[in-house]
Amino acid sequence: MLDKNSLPDPAAAAQERIRARAARLAGGPFEAAFGGPLATMTLSEALLAALLKQGVRQYFAIFGHGSTDLGEIMRIYHEEGAIGVVNCRNEVEMAHAATAHAWMTGETPAVVTSIGPGGLQAMAGSLAAASNGVGVYHIYGDETTRGEGYNMQQVPKPEQGLFGRMGALMGQSYTLHTPEALRECMRRGTACVHHPYKAGPFYILAPINTQPQEVTVNVATLPARQTTPPVRPAAGPELDAAVALLRGARRAVIKAGGGTRGHAAAVRRLAEAAGIPVVLSPGSTGVLPDAHELNMHVGGSKGSISGNHAMQGAEAVIFIGSRGVCQADCSGIGYPQAEAVLNINGDLGDLQHYANTVALPGDITAVTDLLLGALGDDTGKEKRAYWRAACTAKKQDWTQFKAARLEAAPIADEVWGAPVLPQPAAIHMVASAARAHGAVKFFDAGDVQANGFQIVEDDAPGETITETGASYMGFAASALLGLAGMRDAPYGVAFTGDGSFMMNPQILIDAVEHRIRGMVALFDNRRMAAITDLQLAQYGREFKTNDSVAVDYVALAGAVSGVRAIWAGTTRDSLAAALEEGFAHDGLSLLHIPVYAGRDPLAGMGAYGNWNVGNWVDDVQAKYVAAAI
């Protein structure tokens, strides 16, 4: 029986509410909301205050016995409008939602869950943030610091801080073993989640018994959100070498990695001034407008004819904001004729990834402006006229190749027992409709994702969010929940396969609960087509990448009140009608879109380049040893 003396002190609760209201309304110094620089409160409230000072106002949460005290403070601050709390149904889902929210808005959300399996699931989902350079706070309940016996759901092992150690392996972490350690925790936290070049998740472990402990904090000295002024190298030998490289190279290519998403204008200025074709990564579509003459589209093992032509023919490569991902750079041998590299990157670990590199570290825009100033009018552009013409011709080849697939008619499919649309054609129809409606596009892992970034026609970063860093199945549908709490949230479209959707179908409920306006475009080919294609390409046989179980996704989604579930049919006309119906629904719609799977060449956008996997390994590794860069 609950002891009435253990219930919250009404006076303390009233004070918490006053502070929460003041924090929402504060227009002056932050500490004024707390009655001055020094304030005494529980660690849970102090943590919320510290996060508020860094601008963290959006929370995605699943509460458990490891977070009851923190949850109570969050309730008060939520009711007073100081923070927004989105209750979720799955920890992986909410990790993806927070990642998508940060990716879209540039703001920093937090994930809150309990001790044990909840924390492990959220940590697994945080791989997407870590792999794509997105800053998110993860706050997990943790075992008590007193060691009075095993806490339920802790790692059953007599060692200290195991969850904190796991978080440190994934990114960076801090255990609030002592309430007075909050300031240092938040200093390290903002350095991680607000890192200017390689942000990532930061894990705060909040032991069950330290959450309700009172602590006196100096609110004025709690770290604010870290800001770093743009830096660039001083003029000197490296800058001179970079200028000489650009002026002298007849066949140069810019590889725009994911780090260029916030520096699209700088990339375009350099490309146009120096007349250098640009190859994109899956995560940097839109950095150059789709139709721009220098945009060669995505390169790599799932790239494009034009992108891979530019990679394979270049004698010099300018890497900007790229971390050298194996598939995007063809396992390090995507530039077989390249002998020189110019690398512009703020991350020193990625800066020297390639051999024979001229390194210009710092902020991409600042470094690019420095380089353009040093180049002046003599950029070497005229030397590359023939090279640009050759690349433009290959872009035309890619455009024609792509058009044949995007305009393809339905193909007879054994599983469906009828002609159905090939996946590229269906994806393009949905992507075009999304663009017409100003919707943000989220792509899931697998065949849908690979075909998607070969197809999308973005003109600015952020029109498409494709989680290629970790290639996490279930990301796209979960990302729709990231629209919760956004001011003037756009409409969202999740492009997902049947396998990926069933990894995280909770959006069917959570989208209705939190009034998300969006669509799940579910492309159903009843198989893991990306892996099937890889098996066939390498060994000529497929193995255990399909199933015999038919799922009526319209019935499944339609069972959730508020979801508009639509069968998209097997023709262009039926899909167009389904899209119109889905966009007209004021909430979440799901379109079940059957797509062809088979050996017909119109079934996919093709694979190019080399990848260090399967029976290609020996050949790729031999080329890597011989490569000049």
Does 327 or 182 have the greater pLDDT score?
A: 182
Residues 6 or more apart whose CB falls under 8 angstroms from that of 69 comprise: 42, 44, 208, 211, 212
* pLDDT value, residue 7: 58
Of the ranges 96-100, 537-541, 547-551, the best mean pLDDT one: 96-100
Which of 339, 366, 394 corresponds to the end of one domain?
394
Find, among 467, 579, 603, the residue nearest to 520 by Cα. Answer: 579
* pLDDT value, residue 160: 86
In a domain, 267, yes or no: yes
* pLDDT value, residue 1: 45
What is the phi/psi pair of residue 278, to 5°?
Answer: -120, 130
Q: Are residues 171 and 243 in the same domain?
A: no
Residue labelled with tokens 């305009």 = 407
Residues 6 or more apart whose CB falls under 8 angstroms from that of 326 comprise: 332, 611, 612
Q: Are residues 210 and 292 in the same domain?
A: no
In a domain, 342, yes or no: yes
SS3 70: helix
Tell me the C-alpha distance between 391 and 306, whole Å.
6
Q: Are residues 140 and 286 in the same domain?
A: no
* pLDDT value, residue 8: 62
For 79, the domain range is 17-221
In a domain, 157, yes or no: yes
**Interval 441-460: pLDDT, tens:** 999 988 899 999 999 999 99
* pLDDT value, residue 18: 83
CA distances 569 to 251, 372, 450, 578, 595, Å, are 48, 53, 23, 8, 10
Q: Are residues 442 and 545 in the same domain?
A: yes
Structure tokens at 402: 């792509």
In a domain, 194, yes or no: yes
Find, among 396, 393, 466, the residue nearest to 427 by Cα. Answer: 466
Q: Are residues 152 and 177 in the same domain?
A: yes
Burial profile 603-620: b = 16 or more Cβ within 10 angstroms, e = fewer: bbbbbbbbbbeeebeeeb
Tell me the C-alpha distance between 426 and 415, whole Å.
17
**Interval 85-102: pLDDT, tens:** 999 999 999 999 999 999
Tell me the C-alpha distance between 292 and 388, whole Å.
12
Residues 6 or more apart whose CB falls under 8 angstroms from that of 183 comprise: 50, 217, 218, 221, 222, 223
Q: Are residues 422 and 390 in the same domain?
A: no
Residue labelled with tokens 């694979």 = 607
Tell me: pLDDT of 624 over 80.
Answer: yes
Mean pLDDT over residues 44-59, rounded? 96
In a domain, 623, yes or no: no
SS3 206: strand
Q: Are residues 500 and 532 in the same domain?
A: yes
Count the domains in the chain. 3
Find, among 43, 46, 67, the residue nearest to 178 by Cα. Answer: 43
> Residue 315: which CATH number?
3.40.50.1220
Q: Are residues 84 and 212 in the same domain?
A: yes
Q: Are residues 72 and 190 in the same domain?
A: yes
Structure tokens at 59: 């929370």
> Residue 492: which CATH number?
3.40.50.970
**What do you get for the CA distance between the two ends of the chain, in Å?**
71
Q: Are residues 429 and 390 in the same domain?
A: no
Q: How many CA atoms lie within 13 A of 42 on its CB side?
A: 24
Going by pLDDT thresholds of 50, 70 and 90, the confidence category of residue 589 is: very high
In a domain, 429, yes or no: yes
Provide the whole-model pTM.
Answer: 0.94
Q: Are residues 267 and 365 in the same domain?
A: yes
Range of lowest pLDDT (360-374, 419-433, 606-620): 606-620
Tell me the C-alpha distance between 483 and 373, whole Å.
41
What are the strands, taking DSSP E only, across 79-151?
84-87, 110-113, 136-142
In a domain, 369, yes or no: yes
In a domain, 217, yes or no: yes
Q: Are residues 214 and 241 in the same domain?
A: no
